[in-house]
A and B are shown apart, each in its own frame.
Chain A
Amino acid sequence: MATARPGWSRKAQYGLFFSFLAAIAGLLMGLVLLAVSFVSPKSYAAVRGAALDATAPVTGGLRQVTDTVAGLFSGAGNYWDAAHQNAQLRRERTLMIQRIIEARAISQENRELKAALQLRERSRATVASGRVVGSSFSSPRRFAIFSAGTSDGVRIGMPVRSPSGLIGRVMDAGSLASRVLLVSDRASIVPARILRSGQPVISQGRGDGTVDLRPLEVGRNPFHRGDIVITSGTGGLYPPLVPIARVIRLDDDGAIARPLADPSSASFAVVEQPYEPAAITDQAAPSPGGE
């Protein structure tokens, strides 16, 4: 069929022609589907969730295998260095205990001050916990596959965090797994502030595993190398005081930072209720990638 005419057979000629027409129809259908993706992304929520349910359990199983193999090696390494590590951990532990006592005192003081000011304490409700098992490794977008879905209570728009920091928010939910828009995705914008000075900034992903930080107020560059940026709670989606990223490089009016929670090594993560429950309805309305 490399030539235009597949010989004198009418059947073969018609077959080729109809295949060509079907391909044109397929192309047009693809464009229509894509247009619907842009205009109302929510219309595909069910089918995308079902596709996630079909593939994510396999990813989770494979992830367990790779973790076990990696664990064998790192475990052997730990035995090799046990005595030295033991001494070091003891030293760190005594230091930690001192810090924890200080922190307890501070949090008690904080509670008393809040009670004096009659501030409303919001409870941090954990919806589900799971693990990051896979990611979108062949596209400019940064998504991760998370091993908990609507059967665990996960809904589209909920924030996801790990012990070390913010991971992102849920953008597709199947019943067994969900897809998380990572902090480092270009469409992921997080209201934040600098931990050192409390100055409000905006964090936006760069698509390559780092985030872009911009101060809200124009002026001289407020960042220093090594600064930690935490969520501010503005907007009501992400809970405040969750670490996001550490500054690695300054540029002319902002900084480039690396997220503290590395999804590839985070052992587990939790999905939380949106900080303000009203935020999820606002968040679910526009496109999952857009603003």
Chain B
Amino acid sequence: MVRAALAQKRYIDQGPVPGAQYWPAFSVMLASLLVVLPIVSMNGWFPNFGFLMLLAWRLLRSDAFPTWWAAPLGLFNDLALGSPIGLSVAVWTAAILALDIADRRTQWRGYWLEWILAGVLLLGQEAAEWRVAQIMGASVPFLTILSPLLISILAFPVAAWIVARIDRWRLGR
């Protein structure tokens, strides 16, 4: 942001795009809809794109969307992915609430801390998904979540970069 302010570009007559306040939620839904890509994978190692976008938005700014919007966004994600209905509703809302608490507790923020927070929440999400699969009769060993977790954590900076770009675009910076 600071570099953007120092650049030569003039910002007169530029403002937020129409519906700027809905773009964060909309982009999370778009990320959930990436599941329609015709990828037939034999091991579910792709990251949960919707959750990555949600975390990236929430870590970038706390007013991207009201806290409770995580629940309907999670329901949309459940329906799109075909996961047990309620899984993303609960996990996403819990993650946003956890970040609300983290906002109050942390004295300073930086790239590394945000990445660690995202990693911890991604671990929580993968573990919840694993536990739900176990209850539904598909008990795979816990260590199988390691590879998708690692891929998700490595994909987080990409999601954060995309979110930062969308944020600058929607605010007309």
Contact = CB atoms under 8 A, between A and B. Distances in A.
Interface string A279-291: 0000000010111
A23 interface: yes
B92 to A, nearest CB: 8
B135 interface: yes
Interface in B63-119: 63, 66-68, 70-72, 74-75, 79-94, 96-97, 100, 103-104
A240 interface: no
A136 B70 contact: no
B136 A142 contact: no
A193 interface: no
Nearest to B135: A38
B93 A30 contact: yes
A134 interface: yes
A51 interface: yes
Interface in A188-228: 205-209
B138 A209 contact: no
A278 interface: no
Contact of A209 (B37, B43, B81): B43
B165 to A, nearest CB: 22
B71 A26 contact: yes
Interface of B: 33, 35-49, 62-63, 66-68, 70-72, 74-75, 79-94, 96-97, 100, 103-104, 129-130, 132-133, 135-140, 144-145, 148
Given A134-B38, A143-B82, 20 more contacts: A1-B62, A22-B67, A22-B71, A23-B67, A25-B71, A30-B74, A30-B87, A33-B75, A33-B86, A34-B86, A38-B135, A56-B36, A60-B38, A62-B37, A134-B40, A135-B40, A138-B47, A140-B133, A172-B82, A208-B144
A144 B40 CA distance: 7
Interface residues of A, number: 66
A30 B130 CA distance: 17
Interface string A16-59: 00011011111101111111111001001001100110011011
A48 B82 contact: yes
| Of A133, A134, A142, most B-chain CB atoms within 10 Å | A134
Interface stretch (A149-157, A178-186, A248-256): A178-186
Nearest to B130: A140
Nearest to B96: A23
A264 B42 CA distance: 8
Nearest to B145: A140
Contact of B144 (A25, A140, A262): A140
A38 B36 contact: no
A141 B44 contact: yes
Contacts of A30: 71, 74-75, 86-93
